């Protein structure tokens, strides 16, 4: 039963993160207004990161929610479901009136993959922080071998 519960938590975190991304879309969308990026690889990477900022923050939040909400020994692994959903099912729309260049494809790829990477990273960090806190609260028991 806990696997089904963890799957539902993962899907629910993804669904809620889409609403958070939509709410953050307008204010964070202003980061790209009036910015002209160059034609280099670093400019394409930067444009992909900045254009996905609302989904990235929402994915980070979803990674934390999943890691805290699921039960099991390795809760960060359940964030892989959310990350996969971000790559497969997240609403990303890039329509062109002309054929896309390799530069366009690079920033589109970064725009698509960056939120998933951040989701996994925040889940791993959250799991490590939670693991260290639970370990620091334990007191070593003396062994009575003898």
**Residue whose C-alpha is closest to residue 118's, from 83, 75, 91:** 83
CA 31 to mean position of chain CA atoms: 19
Q: What band does 90 get if pLDDT is binned at 50, 70 and 90?
A: low
Q: Answer yes or no: pTM beyond 0.85.
A: no
Query: What's the mean pLDDT in 117-140?
Result: 79
Query: What's the mean pLDDT in 121-145?
Result: 72
- pLDDT tens string 13-28: 999 999 999 899 888 8
Measured distance CA(132)–CA(61) in Å, rounded: 20
Please report which helix (H) or strand (E) contains residue 36, including its range.
none
CA 35 to mean position of chain CA atoms: 25
- pLDDT tens string 32-84: 777 777 778 888 888 888 888 999 999 999 999 999 999 888 989 999 999 99
Share of the chain above pLDDT 90, in %: 43
Residue 137 has pLDDT above 80, yes or no: no
Give the number of residues written for the chain. Answer: 146
Contact 62, 91 (CB under 8 A): no
> What does each C-alpha distance from 32 to 53, 103, 112 come to in angstroms?
10, 17, 17
């Amino acid at each position: 039963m806990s696997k089904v519960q963890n799957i539902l938590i993962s899907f629910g975190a993804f669904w809620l993160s889409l609403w958070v991304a939509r709410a953050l879309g307008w204010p964070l969308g202003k980061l790209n207004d009036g910015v002209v990026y160059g034609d280099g690889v670093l400019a394409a990477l930067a444009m992909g990161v900045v254009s996905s900022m609302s989904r990235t923050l929402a994915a980070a939040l979803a990674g934390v929610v999943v890691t805290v909400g699921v039960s099991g020994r390795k809760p960060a692994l359940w964030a892989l479901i959310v990350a996969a959903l971000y790559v497969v099912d997240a609403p990303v729309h890039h329509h062109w009136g002309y054929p896309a260049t390799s530069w366009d494809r690079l920033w589109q790829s970064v725009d698509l993959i960056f939120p998933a990477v951040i989701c996994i990273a925040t889940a791993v960090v959250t799991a490590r922080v939670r693991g260290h806190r639970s370990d620091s609260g334990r007191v070593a028991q003396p062994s009575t071998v003898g």
